[in-house]
């Protein structure tokens, strides 16, 4: 079974690690995390992702740049803004985006 590949972009390393760990607790999902725009773009170009999860704290300019880049490269990509709130909310956001 292929796992759903998820790219997580978050400015805070500790929060990023927590989000990636929570996502990877689901046996159907595989997440990798990035902190900077450049890391996110490199990761996105390196493998096919089904979903991009944007953490809070990303500046408006960076958010717009990343969303445009991802959508241009893959018009089918689901992009979710994650504001926190625990693993239940995180899972619900991902499930909703993957519908």
Domain containing 25 equals: 9-29+36-98
Q: In what order do the strands lie in the sheet with 29-34?
A: 29-34, 4-9, 51-55, 78-82
23-61 residue pLDDT tens: 999 999 999 999 999 999 999 999 999 999 998 789 999
Q: Record the pTM.
A: 0.93
62-94 residue pLDDT tens: 999 999 999 999 999 999 998 776 667 888 889
**The domain spanning residue 87 has which CATH number?**
3.30.1330
Number of domains observed in the structure of the chain: 1
pLDDT (0 to 100) of residue 86: 66
- Domain for residue 3, yes or no? no
- Domain for residue 1, yes or no? no
Torsion 80-85-89-90 (CA) sign:
positive
Alpha carbons 32 and 49: distance in angstroms, whole number: 10
Collapsing DSSP to helix, strand or coil, 22 comes out as: helix
pLDDT (0 to 100) of residue 87: 64
């Amino acid at each position: 079974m292929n796992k759903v590949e998820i790219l997580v972009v978050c400015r805070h390393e500790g929060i990023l690690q927590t989000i990636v760990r929570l996502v990877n607790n689901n046996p159907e999902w595989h997440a990798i995390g990035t902190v900077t725009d450049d890391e996110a773009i490199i990761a996105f170009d390196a493998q096919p992702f089904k979903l991009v999860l944007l953490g809070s704290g990303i500046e408006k300019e960076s958010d717009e740049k990343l969303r445009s880049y991802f959508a241009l490269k893959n018009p089918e990509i689901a992009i979710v803004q994650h504001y926190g709130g625990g693993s239940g909310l995180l899972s619900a956001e991902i499930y909703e985006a993957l519908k």
